[in-house]
Amino acid sequence: MRYDFIRSLAGEFNIEMLCAALEVSRTAYYRYRRGASYQQTTHQQAKKQLVEQVFWAHKRRYGSRRIVAELREQGYQIVRQRVRSLMKIADLQPIQPKSFVPRTTDSTHGKGYWPNLLLDQSVPTAPNLVWVSDITYLPLVNGEWAYLGGWLDLFSRRIVGWRVDDNMEDALVTSPLRMALQSRQPAHGLITHSDRGGQYVSNDLQELISLWRIRPSMSRADDPYDNAFAESFWSRLKAELLEGGVFMSVDDARTEIFEYIETYYNRVRKHSSLGYKSPEQFEKEYYTKHASSVCR
């Protein structure tokens, strides 16, 4: 057994190194040394397996809170303390995003700015009331960059439109906005909020604003936290998708981000701010309740 093998070598090698080499949890090993039972009951083993299945199915993106929510949705009753204990025994460490540090936006384009309409706005109570946008950099293996522009619905946290390209031209934000408008058909008065980048005051974007009767909004000068929802999403995406790595190419970035956003983030990934529901599930529940109230 690996525990006995580690114990036999403990006088010659560092315990931490031995546990890492043999892929053994240090916590479990020390429990073994103290005489505590490291053999789980069949029921305990089954719960540990369930926790591990959820953890790896979500590619290390879920911590104990989301694992609890996922298991309860599947019909299993388990408390967070138990999940944390099982994760510790199995040495399951979820990915954590780096501290959020907003980037500085080049706002010296001289094209004018829109006022910040979110300062006096309450939290959106329905989809398609407020969309926020930002642009972020994606590192490539050759040392160059790809760029990602997207729009997020502030009510459901759903990414309603996105684009990956090898440049930061206006189409990086206007193209996904146009597609989102066509697919979601928001009512007049939609607020679109962004930082003060020049892409958000382009002629193409202003045409969309006029055509769809959008209310454009921008962060205040030198206050990037005004757009923190969009910024923090990019931070989470990079942490969960790249984990400090790089994309092979622009096409590779486009493929990976499609899989992350369209098949995982929007449809599957649970959000604490949404009551541990996915954006798609949160919107579906809203429309179901809305339809029921209308029929009464």
**Gap between the Cα atoms of 206 and 274, Å rounded:** 32
Q: What is the pLDDT, as a whole number, of residue 157? A: 95
Tens-digit pLDDT profile for residues 150-208: 999 999 999 999 999 999 999 999 999 999 999 999 999 999 999 888 899 999 999 99
pLDDT of residue 290: 83
pLDDT of residue 102: 37
Question: What ranges do the domains of the chain cover?
Answer: 1-34, 42-90, 130-293
Residue written as tokens 């429309």? 287
DSSP conformation class of 247:
B
- Per cent of the chain over pLDDT 70 is 85
Give the pLDDT confidence score for residue 24 in this predicted structure. 67
Residue 4: count other Cβ atoms within 10 Å of its Cβ: 9
Condensed to tens digits (0 to 9), the pLDDT of residues 88-116 reads 888 888 776 554 443 434 555 556 678 99
**The architecture CATH gives domain 130-293:** 2-Layer Sandwich (3.30)
The pTM of the whole model exceeds 0.85: no
pLDDT in tens, 60-86: 778 887 888 888 888 888 888 788 888
- Predicted pLDDT of residue 108: 54
Please tell me the distance from the alpha carbon of residue 127 to that of residue 156, in angstroms, as a whole number: 7
- 10 Å Cβ neighbour count for 93? 11
Q: In what helix (H) or strand (E) does residue 160 lie, and over which residues does it extend?
A: strand 159-165
Task: Tell me what the pLDDT averaged over the chain comes to.
Answer: 83
Question: Which pLDDT tens digit goes with each residue over 263-292?
Answer: 999 999 999 889 999 999 999 999 999 887
